[in-house]
Amino acid sequence: MLTEKDLLEDGFGKHPVHHCLVAEVSKGPALWKDTAFGFASDCFTYDPWIGRLLCLEDFFERSDYRSLGIGSETLKTLNQVVEKCRCSSMHFLRAEWNEPSSSSTKKRGASDLSSKEGWRLFKIDKECLLKMAAEE
């Protein structure tokens, strides 16, 4: 199980494997002051066909602060990271039930690779990986 110590080490240790962008406001109405409105968690991955990719692992915006442009500003900042780090694109997963979010990202130019290219996401749990490693 992932612990707080793991998260801190993985994000802020000697060799960070993920980054987290926090959307917060320190100035403005008292209601907003020092409040975190959302976050984006990302990491880099590499595709031998197209190069470095920014992999957006999680994107969260508090529902009571949506439609204020916070998500757009967060995406703008992520776009700057993509450019600065010479990434060819940003990849992310969306749950099928999250149609409003899917529609919003499609309006911004996102392609649905599962329908466009027929990609499917697979996962092999740690238990299965250890079992395979022991067999060899």
pLDDT tens column, 29-62: 665 556 778 889 999 999 999 999 999 998 888 8
Name the pTM for this structure. 0.74
For the domain covering 4-135, report its CATH number. Answer: 3.40.630.30
Give me the DSSP letters along 60-95: EE-GGGTTSSHHHHHHHHHHHHHHHTT-SEEEE---
Identify whether the C-beta of residue 45 lies closer than 8 Å to the C-beta of residue 57. no
Task: Report the Cα–Cα distance between both ends of the chain, in Å, rounded.
Answer: 26
- CA dihedral defined by 126, 102, 110, 81, rounded to 10 degrees? -60
pLDDT tens column, 58-76: 888 888 777 877 888 888 9
- CA dihedral defined by 72, 56, 40, 65, rounded to 10 degrees? 40
Domain ranges of the chain: 4-135
